[in-house]
Amino acid sequence: MTTDVTTSTITAAVAREHGQPLSIEQVELDAMRPDEVRVRLVATGVCHTDAIVRDGVYPTPLPAVLGHEGAGVVEAVGEMVADIAVGDHVILSAAYCGTCKRCRAGQVAYCEHLFAEDFGGRRHDGTTALSAPGRPEQVISSHFFGQSAFATHANVRPTSVVVVDPDVPLEVLAPLGCGMQTGAGAVLNELRPPAGTSLAVSGAGAVGLAAVMAARIAGCSTVIAIDVHDSRLQLATELGATHTVNGKQVDTHEKLMEITGGAGVDYILDTTAIPALLASAAQSLAVRGTLALVGAARPGTEVPFEIGSSLVKGWTFKTIVQGSAVPQVFIPRLVELWKQGAFPIDKLTRAYRLQEINDAFADSASGAVVKPIVVF
């Protein structure tokens, strides 16, 4: 282990103004702390959460280096860090404090200090790892999700680090750190549908398609993908969906009831966070069904649920963060599923250079690409 990693100049994509493109800049990465890990990034997935922080929906202070689906190689390890070594290949995920009641109960996705750990843009002592070259007073928010991975290098919190086999392609599996973990974990860790049940996914983006694959792994006999892009619905079929619904072409509620013979869907996972879609989904549940939300909405967003005739259905609504996963446990499981061909996320991805990162954001927003990956 070593801590003699001093300040260095790196290349990063910086979010400077809400709603504006990221700028490619040279920035200074400060000396690694004894409780940090220096990682050379190989690839970083582009996630919807990056976009909503760029646009001011969530409160990370700008300017900031975002990126929270990083993967790379460890170059140095602080003297206070255990179980991580120089040369380790790692996938980076969300940070957590490790000491609150939820973390100590093994529920790290629900860390009581989640916003400070992942969106605060600062270390626990209030410092940032990033600044303008030669101007340390011009700080740039760092440690986004413990990593800030839209950069060639990062000083990373150990709770964000997941060591993986050195033979797996980091440029393919980087998205496991957030979106894929969220979709798959929501099904396998939280909903846990029994074999033979029905599950519908609203939104066939990266998170939704990960949930489709997980539903097949879980043994669901009816797996329904809902979207407005036929290309994504076709991809959902290739990944295991037994039925698809284009919400622009048919009434989604009526179609779900038709598919299930009038019984309703046992589990519905919403990735869109669109209130009208959630309200409709609740009406499409089976008796004792569960509606779960993983999509991120602006704070204060509300959904009007019918509570009269639906009372006797005994249905459940829940929110799910990061697939209720412990990344150090769940991500290696997803890697093994990928090796077996059961979780082929490479069918969803397209590679971009760092200089093309704004194209990656635009292609993701338009639906042209399911999961963009910046490859360094």
Residue 225 has pLDDT above 90, yes or no: yes
> What is the distance between the alpha carbons of residues 211 and 227, in angstroms, rounded to a whole number?
14
Which residues have C-beta within 8 Å of that of residue 2, sequence separation ≥ 6?
A: 76, 77, 79, 86
For residues 178 and 167, what is the distance between their CA atoms, to the nearest angstrom? Answer: 21
Rounded Cα–Cα distance for residues 248 and 204 (Å): 14
Q: Which residue has the tokens 């980091």?
A: 170
Q: Estimate to the nearest angstrom the gap between the alpha carbon of 8 and the chain centroid.
A: 29
Exposed / middle / buried, residue 358 (Cβ in 10 Å: 0-12, 13-18, 19+)? middle
What are the φ and ψ backbone dihedral angles of 316, each rounded to 5 degrees?
A: -120, 140
Dump pLDDT digits (tens) for 129-175: 999 998 877 999 999 999 999 999 999 999 999 999 999 999 999 99
**Best CATH choice for the domain 180-321 from the list 3.40.50.720, 3.40.190.80, 3.20.20.70, 3.30.200.20:** 3.40.50.720
What is the phi-psi region of residue 366: left when phi exceeds 0, alpha when psi lies from -120 to 50, beta otherwise?
A: alpha
Q: Give the residues across from 45 on adjacent strands.
A: 373
Question: Which of 43-52, 255-264, 297-306 has the least mean pLDDT?
Answer: 297-306
Within the chain, where are the H helices? 48-54, 101-104, 114-119, 170-173, 179-185, 206-218, 230-238, 252-259, 275-283, 327-339, 357-366
Pull the structure tokens for residue 320. 């799910």
> Would you state the pLDDT for residue 189?
98
Buried b / exposed e across 208-228, counting CB within 10 Å, b at 16+?
bbbbbbbbbbbebebbbbbbe
The pLDDT score that the predictor gives to residue 58 is 85
Given this model, what pLDDT does residue 4 score? 53
Distance CA 267, CA 193 (A): 7
Q: State which amino acid sits at residue 176.
A: L
Please state, in angstroms and as integers, the Cα–Cα distance from residue 111 to each residue in 143, 154, 216, 297, following that order.
16, 23, 29, 19
Number of H helices, E strands in the chain: 11, 18
Average pLDDT over residues 335-344: 97
Within this chain, domains 8-177+344-375 and 180-321 share the same CATH topology: no
Q: Which residues of 366-375 are buried (b: 16+ CB within 10 A; e: fewer)?
A: eeebbbbbbb
What's the rounded mean pLDDT across residues 350-366?
A: 96
Q: Which residues are bridge partners to 350 per DSSP?
A: 372
| Full 3-state SS string of 200-257 | EEECCCHHHHHHHHHHHHHCCCEEEEEECCHHHHHHHHHCCCCEEEECCCCCHHHHHH
Q: What CATH number should be reported for the domain whose range is 8-177+344-375?
A: 3.90.180.10
As to burial, measured by CB atoms within 10 angstroms (0-12 exposed, 13-18 middle, 19+ buried), residue 73 is middle
Of 29, 35, 145, nearest in space to 84 by CA: 35
Task: Look at phi and psi of residue 323 and say left if phi exceeds 0, alpha if psi is from -120 to 50, else beta.
Answer: left
Q: In the chain, what are the domain boundaries?
A: 8-177+344-375, 180-321
Structure tokens at 167: 């033979």
User: pTM here?
Assistant: 0.94
pLDDT tens track for 45-98: 999 999 999 999 888 999 999 999 999 999 999 999 999 999 999 999 999 999
